[in-house]
Amino acid sequence: MSTETVAQEKQWPEFSIRPAVEADVDQVLWFIKELASFENTPDPVTTTSEQLRQILFGSHRHPDSHALLVYAREADGQEKPVAFALYYYDLFLRGGQLKLYLVNMFVCSEYRRMGIGKLLLSRLANIASENGCARMEWRVQDWNQPAIEFYESIGARQLKGITICQLDKKNMQDIVNF
């Protein structure tokens, strides 16, 4: 298991990134709930720890789904989880290659503007490159101007003319029975 450590300016703690393991499922779920709260999503997070465990590590595991956790080493030497990213590999058929799709990324508010987002995206870009991906993609809420500006500052571009469509479980069943 590789760990990446980056020392920041003196007033900032040292951060390390590592892949989530099965024992981290509750922590990953906590981050998912924090992100949903931050985004004011209308639908509550109903995922359970066991469901998430099955998706990431169990019998329903998507083989290309992964999570990263970022820890801050506090002054007392204790490590505190401060950020996470969930991602998977998807097809980029026009390029004949894979792409890394960042599903979620969240940094705890008191640790923002310390370089953690850039650290996570740098690690993800490295992972994507190591796995032959032609690109990375993610979504950002259109109201989240600080995130949009951050992504643009690292060279990300917004795709215009794309609308995301989705079917919920009821609508999927309706079309199955069509």
CATH number at residue 54: 3.40.630.30
pLDDT of 2 over the 90 cut: no
144-173 pLDDT, tens digit per residue, is 999 999 999 999 998 888 877 888 888 888
Cβ atoms of residues 57 and 42 within 8 Å = no
Angle at 137 between CA 37 and CA 41, to 5 degrees: 15
| Cα 64 to Cα 89: distance, rounded to the nearest angstrom | 6
Mean pLDDT of the chain: 87
pLDDT band at 63 (very low <50, low <70, confident <90, very high): confident
Strand ranges, E, within 20-150 = 65-73, 79-92, 97-107, 133-138
Token code pair at residue 115: 């370089």
pLDDT of residue 25: 96
* pLDDT tens string 116-150: 999 999 999 999 999 999 999 999 988 999 999 99
Residue 17 DSSP symbol: E
Residue 97: partners with Cβ closer than 8 Å, 6 or more residues away = 132, 133, 134
Please say whether the dihedral angle defined by the alpha carbons of residues 126, 38, 160 and 66, taken in this order, is positive or negative.
positive
Catalytic residue among 87, 88, 89, 151: 151
- Residue with tokens 């998430």, as numbered in its chain: 52
The domain in which residue 49 lies consists of 4-176
Read off the pLDDT band of 4 (50, 70, 90): low
Active-site annotation holds for 151: yes
- Are the C-beta atoms of 16 and 120 separated by less than 8 Å? no
Number of domains in the chain: 1
| Encoded tokens for 101 | 């799709």
